[in-house]
Structure 1
Amino acid sequence: MHLEAINALAQLIAAIGVILSLFYLAAQIRQNTRSQRSVVVDSLTQSLINLIGPQGYDPELTRAFVSATEDWHGATEEDRLRAVAVLFTTFKLFENAWFQQRQGTLDPEQWEAWDLHIRVYFHRPGVKTWWTLRAGDVCGWFSQLYRINAADQRPEAAE
């Protein structure tokens, strides 16, 4: 009987150890998730800085970008070519932010800021024109989120 009591006590201690290990594992997973979210936010922010930064050093790039985003058809072909590279990269970055939000990696507050930034670009007349020509370059779900009402060329939010 004495061995049975020792065995039962050992099993109880082992069970408690397993439960404590599970709590520790849950805490580690939570900490890792927070860390991954921080990395995503930092990565998206750094990507945006790297994308926008050259415009601060290159007035010609800024002029070409503004020209094309304000009046796509009125801009020169060279301006449109320069703007396409920036627009494509910018909207791929926006698509990445949207994907991170859909995966739950990007917090709602972070996504609200990205969504506002996207709309600032999206509401430019030249960007609307570019979008109708190139929306297929981004993920279908993302392009549906930001679609253009063909009748009046105004962006509308997808429901």
Structure 2
Amino acid sequence: MNWEMISAVGQMLGAIGVIISIVYLAAQIRNQNKESQRAAMNVLTTHWSDLNRSLVDNPDFAALWLRALHSFNELDGTSKLRFGAHLGRYLRFADRLYLGVLDGTLDKRLWRGYERTLADTVAYPGFQTWWATRKHWHTDEFCALIDRHIQTAKPKIYDGYNLP
């Protein structure tokens, strides 16, 4: 073998090494991206649970929630404010989740469970009264989603609950 041949073999082995390194790096980046998405979904799930915790931790608020969903207009001003503030946080979070689905950063399988929860909530007349004057606070895409659910959903999730 002459020096040119040895040099060519060395360059070829170097190129193969670079290709292997690039493939390895791509695999590591993909794994890191998947892990980041899993971590983000865990954070989102925790935030959703924290939002719902106020219904569990506060019996007075749970009773208010049920009354408000059935008839927002019959609440006193303070109760309207409490219900509206909670619902505003709840929907702002759901709006962000929905945008994550639309841009592909949130797994659609996870979203479907959240969406069914939303559909059950928006079916009630108290929600619809509240929503009519506040929907402009949300993205157009989310408003369209909620409005579709309002058209099709039937209020049934809380039918077996005894209203206070």
TM-score bracket, shorter-length normalisation: 0.7 to 0.9
Give me the whole-angstrom Cα distance separating, in 1, the residues matched to 2:151 and 2:11.
64
The match for 1:113 is 113
Q: Does 1:77 align with 2:77?
A: yes
2:63 aligns to what?
63
- In the superposition, the TM-score normalised over structure 2's length comes to 0.84
| Moved >2 Å (runs of 4+) | 154-157
Note the 1:80-159 alignment, pairs <5 A: 80-147=80-147, 154-155=150-151
In structure 2, runs of 5+ residues without a counterpart are: 154-164
Alignment of 1:10-89 (within 5 A): 10-89=10-89
CA distance in 2 between partners of 1:78 and 1:87 (Å): 14
Task: Give unmatched runs, 5+ long, in structure 1.
Answer: none
Aligned in 2, Cα 1:112/1:2: closer, same or farther, shift over 3 Å? same
Paired-residue identity, %: 27
1:2 and 1:156 mapped to 2: Cα distance? 80
Q: CA RMSD in A?
A: 1.9
Q: Structure 1 residues 30 and 2, CA, compared in 2 at 3 Å: closer, same or farther? A: same
3-state SS of 1:104 partner: coil
Corresponding residue SS for 1:155: helix
SS in 2 for 1:117: helix
| 2:24 maps to amino acid | Y
Q: Secondary structure at the match of 2:72?
A: coil
TM-score of the two chains, using structure 1 as the length reference: 0.86
